[in-house]
Structures are given as structure tokens and as C-alpha cells.
Amino acid sequence: MPSCVSAALPTDAPEALDASRLAVADALLDLLRDTTTEPRTDTQLEALTLAVTADLPVLLWGEPGIGKTAALNQLAAALELPLTTVIASVHEPSDFAGLPVVGDDPAVQGVPMAPPDWAVRLVRAGRGLLFLDELSTAPPAVQAALLRLVLERRIGALRLPPGVRIVAAANPRSSAADGWELSPPLANRFVHLQWAHDPDVVVRGLGGTWPLATLPRLDPQRLPEAVDFARRAVCGFLTARPGLVHRLPGGESRRGGAWPSPRSWEATVRLVAFATAAGSSRDVLALLVRGTVGDGPGLELLASLDRMDLPDPEQLLADPRAAELPERGDLRQAVLDGVVAAVRNRPDRARWDAAWTLLVRAMESGAPDVVVVPATTLAALRRDDWDVPTAIERLGAAMALSRRADEAARKASLTGGGRR
């Protein structure tokens, strides 16, 4: 009696069996998602966290699949901020500009622009991390609608609260699906960070341990000093290089990246102040500055920042035997050039001798080639009634040896080039 046997079996047995198997699969997935974090030096993660702390919109550039989205998820979790992800390319311009809602009497009340639901949720939460993904696949009309959101934090009639930070991600046009170049007005509103994967970080992460993202520790005692330093640094640099206050790149692709404008220089002042108050490394500051005003202006500003910390030439001339010179060759060269310039502006026998003493200290504690140009210039400043110091003989031997080494290297280079 097959029908009786069939009727005796529970009809929900297959479903129950499938549910139990899915439960086991879900348990395995939970174990795979269970990861931890560890303190680890990660320059690009530190730069991202500092820019987010400074409340500046950040745009992460990188090839697909290198972990930009994963980094944002981890950052939001570490900072305990609710993450809201919006894929810009699948939205209409009205989703960011606001949808018109006609009221009872538009002639009296106007037509308000209603924000999307995700914006309302952010306002209700009062804080959060807004992640604009796939920005380079957003068409120009959508990019134009994003201008007000990124700069003014407005969506329709709604303003996002100060506790909301904005981070975007984009792929280069060559690797983006239906990619577009970023419009210059939108690009100039972001701090651009080139995101690259570190094989060691990836391996550790796949093993269940990712770098820990932490907010920078700002020293309350250094806040006024940090603001003063940042303003002096940027304003002094732009005073010497006024052509860099605003320079729109010529190429379309470069316009979609970082370039100098009053807006991006204002962001640079903020980043330098935050980096100074946090004691951030020069590598972190370099990523941020170059990502805000571009490589060329950024590198020039960094070189200017290095020179701001150089010792005063007059103090070095006052006590040359106790002088401490920078270790880096380029900074040491700048110090010695400044000392020689100070002697040229106010020539005096004692100052001239003190400068020679400094050059000897520089030769004895570093590469002699940095002394060649300052020594030649200083020798030309000698007056007829000034005796030649004995230090010149020691410098002369070192300079002659340095010249012979340079000539030998040059000949070797020419010979090698001829063989190729």
C-alpha cells in the first residue's frame, strides 16, 4: 500500500533538513566573518583617518578589488559610526538634489525638495559615515548634483549634521565600468588618496587580523600652535609662489584629480594643522597635501615646511662650535646656503670666520659635497685685509677629493653609456 506509506511520512521533512543544513552553513559564514584588529603602522589608513577627523571629503582611488570598500567598512566599525553606502552611478540627479513635493499652495509655500530616505536616516542618527561608491561611473549630470552634497552637506532641503563624514571611492577610468572623468568642480572638493594594497596586510587580514583604525590623538596644548604654524606655512609659501594659488590643469584627466585652488589650499591649512596637532609623520602629511593640491605644489609646500624648521643662521654664526646641523643632505645644504647669505648681507671678519667653522663642522659630520658651493661662495666674499683661515686648507682637500670622485663617476657613466 504505497499510498499509506507515503501518507505516514512527515511532509515537512525535506524543508526541515534543508533549514538545518543552511543553519550549519550560516554558522560557518559567521566564523569566516569573525575577524579581529591589531595596531599596525599603515600610512594610507592613517592619512584617511586624519582627513576624516578633519571633516574633509576623501576620495579613494584604486583598481577594483583591492579593498577600498572593505577599508571603509572597517573604518566605520572602528570609529563606531553607522555606515551608509550609496552607489552614485545607480542614482538619478534628483536623488541628490531632492525630489519636488507639491504642497497645498505652491505659490505661497513654494515647492520643497524632499531628501531620500538614507539622508533622513543620517540626520536622525546625528552621526555616520556616508560612503559614495563607484563615483567615477556616475554620469556628469549626477556629478553635478553631488556638488552641493559634498561641499555644503545639503540634500534637497535637508542639511546633514556635523557628525556625518563623507568618503567616496572610484576606479581609474581605464578600469571602471562605463567610466567618466571626474568633473573639475567635484574633484576639487575632495582629498584624493591613491589606495594600494599591501600584500602583508592582505595576508594578515585573510588570516583574520586587520590593521586597527584609530582616530588621531590631538594634543590640546598644541592646538593654537598648530593653527598658527599651518597658516604661516601655507600663506608664506603662496606669498613666494602666487602662481600656485589657482592653477587648473590643462589635461582632462588631471582636472579630475587634485589641483591647487583657494578651496583646496584652505583644506591644506586644515590638514597641516591637524597633522601638527596629532604629531603625524611626514609620510602621512605628504599623502594628504599631495592629494589636496596635487603632486607638484604639494612637494613644493613640503620642502617649504622642512625649511621652516631650520635653525636661524644668525644663531649659528653666534656660536658655530655648538651648532647642530640637520642630518638630511638637502636641509644641511639649505642651512649652509642661509649662513653664507647672512654673511653676504652683513659682511664682517668675525662672521666670515664663524661661517668657515660651520663649514668645517658640516664636512666632518656629513658628506663633503654639500660644502662645495657654500665654500666657493664664502671664499668670494673675502676682503683684502682678512687673513685666510686654516680651515680653508682642510676644506680644500675635501673639496678636491669630492671633485675627483664626481669626475670619476661622470666618466664611468659616460663609458657605460657608450657600451650600451
Beta bridge partners, 418, equal none
Q: Domain check: are 244 and 157 in the same one?
A: no
Q: Domain check: are 301 and 323 in the same one?
A: no
CA distances to 59, 279, 336, 343, 361 from 368, in Å = 44, 33, 12, 21, 10
One-letter amino acid for residue 268 of the chain:
T
CATH assignment of the domain containing 159: 3.40.50.300
Write down which residue in 278, 308, 338 finishes a domain: 308
**Mean pLDDT score, 360-381:** 82
Q: Domain check: are 207 and 255 in the same one?
A: no
Return the pLDDT at 410. Answer: 64
Give the residue ranges of DSSP H helices in 129-281: 140-152, 184-187, 199-206, 223-240, 252-255, 262-278
Task: Please give the mean pLDDT across all residues of the chain.
Answer: 84
Confidence (pTM): 0.74
Q: Is 169 helix (H, G, I), strand (E, B) or coil?
A: strand
Closest CA to 218 of 55, 54, 74: 54
> How many percent of the chain have pLDDT more than 90?
32
Q: How confident is the model at residue 415 (pLDDT cuts 50, 70, 90)?
A: low
Residue 190 reports pLDDT greater than 90:
yes
Q: Domain check: are 224 and 339 in the same one?
A: no
Q: How confident is the model at residue 104 (pLDDT cuts 50, 70, 90)?
A: low
Residue 418 reports pLDDT greater than 60:
no
Sort strands 163-170 and 158-159 into parallel, antiparallel or unpaired. Answer: unpaired
267 in any annotated domain: yes
Domain of residue 279 covers 220-308
229 in any annotated domain: yes
Question: What is the Cα–Cα distance from 88 to 52, expressed in whole angstroms?
Answer: 20
Q: Domain check: are 236 and 200 in the same one?
A: no
333 in any annotated domain: yes
Give the residue ranges of DSSP H helices in 40-91: 43-53, 68-78
Residue 255 reports pLDDT greater than 70:
yes
**Residues 180/143, Cβ–Cβ less than 8 Å:** yes
Q: Domain check: are 233 and 349 in the same one?
A: no
Range with lowest mean pLDDT among 21-30, 187-196, 409-418: 409-418
134 in any annotated domain: yes
Return the pLDDT at 419. Answer: 46
Range with lowest mean pLDDT among 25-39, 108-122, 194-208: 108-122
**Mean pLDDT score, 390-419:** 59
Residue 175 reports pLDDT greater than 80:
no
Q: Domain check: are 321 and 352 in the same one?
A: yes
Q: Domain check: are 116 and 238 in the same one?
A: no
Residue 100 reports pLDDT greater than 80:
no
Length reported for the chain? 420
Q: Domain check: are 336 and 410 in the same one?
A: yes
**Residues 302/289, Cβ–Cβ less than 8 Å:** yes
11 in any annotated domain: no
Return the pLDDT at 139. Answer: 87
Into how many domains does the chain fold? 3
**Mean pLDDT score, 320-333:** 83
Write down which residue in 308, 331, 348 finishes a domain: 308
CB atoms within 10 A of CB 123: 15
Q: Domain check: are 262 and 301 in the same one?
A: yes
Write down which residue in 193, 211, 229 finishes a domain: 211
